[in-house]
Amino acid sequence: MGNTAKSTVIGAAPEGARDTQAASRAVRAMFTSIAPRYDLLNHVLSMNVDRLWWNRTAKTFSSILIRPQAKVLDLCCGTGDMTFALRRRAGNASADILGADFSHAMLQRAAEKSQGISLRWIEADALHLPFEDSHFDLLTSAFGFRNLADYDAALREIVRVLRPGAECGILDFGEPGGLMGKLYRIYFKHVLPKVGTFISGIKGPYAYLPASVERFPAPAEMLERMRNTGFREVSWTPYTFGIAGLYRGKK
């Protein structure tokens, strides 16, 4: 799919979803259905490279995480792996780190994993966040932004809850080029869905995943969308040959 086609994309569109509300419901249902095996599947399907991506992203924002009383939101946190990476990078600093997701089942898994760790979890819709304006010093989102029903609306909401000068980091999948891209697409479109379906016992989410990555805006367009919604100093850093990458910007 070329960039011209992608420029018209509003947000995620699972099969059968005819509007943003239906898309949101479908995505929530998919992630709720795979919550029990979500962590295992992530690590198996990424060959544990996902751990490196979370840690690298957290390291990028170390200067914010070690600030006294820094307020941090990990949006679309799922079972919390990015949130945990932020907590580890903050160390003994007094950062207030909050994970938010709209799947109750995912948050239950996150809460089970975080016993004894100073993290908080909240069930919330990324397009209608229950926070006051200019509240957070840092907002991250790892592999969840791509699944939102309206990318521009989500970016506007992120800008709203960030303080002036605060930073945003969106980690998500990409489509590498060259030979690596060809091999990646074979794995992503043919191998991954079969393995994911076999382990989870559920077909829909792992058929949806490759389509959602193909549908997601290319880096140049995503950066332009960020600029248009109020971010400055925007950048994209590819991870592992561009299989994933970090979008970064300041309010």
When pLDDT is cut at 50, 70 and 90, the band that residue 2 belongs to is very low
**pLDDT at residue 29 above 50?**
yes
* Token pair in block for residue 124: 């919330």
pLDDT of res. 167: 98
Tens digit of each residue's pLDDT (9 = 90 or more) over 69-110: 999 999 999 999 999 999 999 999 999 999 999 999 999 999
Label the pairing between strands 120-123 and 96-101. parallel
pLDDT of res. 97: 98
Cα of first residue to Cα of last residue in the chain, in angstroms, is 31
The CA distance from 12 to 217, in Å, is: 11
pLDDT of res. 53: 96
Q: Residue 192: helix, strand or coil by DSSP? A: helix
The total number of residues written for the chain in this structure: 251
The CA distance from 10 to 17, in Å, is: 13
Q: Among the listed ranges 15-19, 136-140, 141-145, 216-220, which one has the minimum average pLDDT value? A: 15-19
- Domains of the chain, each with CATH number or no CATH: 52-174+218-251 (3.40.50.150)
**pLDDT at residue 132 above 80?**
yes
- As a whole number, mean pLDDT of residues 58-69 equals 97
- As a whole number, mean pLDDT of residues 115-122 equals 94
pLDDT of res. 187: 85
Q: Which of 79, 83, 90, 91 is nearest to 43 (CA)?
A: 79
Q: Residue 164: helix, strand or coil by DSSP? A: strand
> Is residue 155 left, alpha or beta, with left meaning phi > 0 and alpha meaning psi from -120 to 50?
alpha
**pLDDT at residue 181 above 90?**
no
Where is pLDDT greater, at 51 or 3?
A: 51
Q: Which of 61, 113, 34 is nearest to 250 (CA)?
A: 61
What is the average pLDDT score of the chain? 91
* Token pair in block for residue 151: 């990318």
Q: Residue 160: helix, strand or coil by DSSP? A: helix
**pLDDT at residue 4 above 70?**
no
The CA distance from 37 to 196, in Å, is: 10
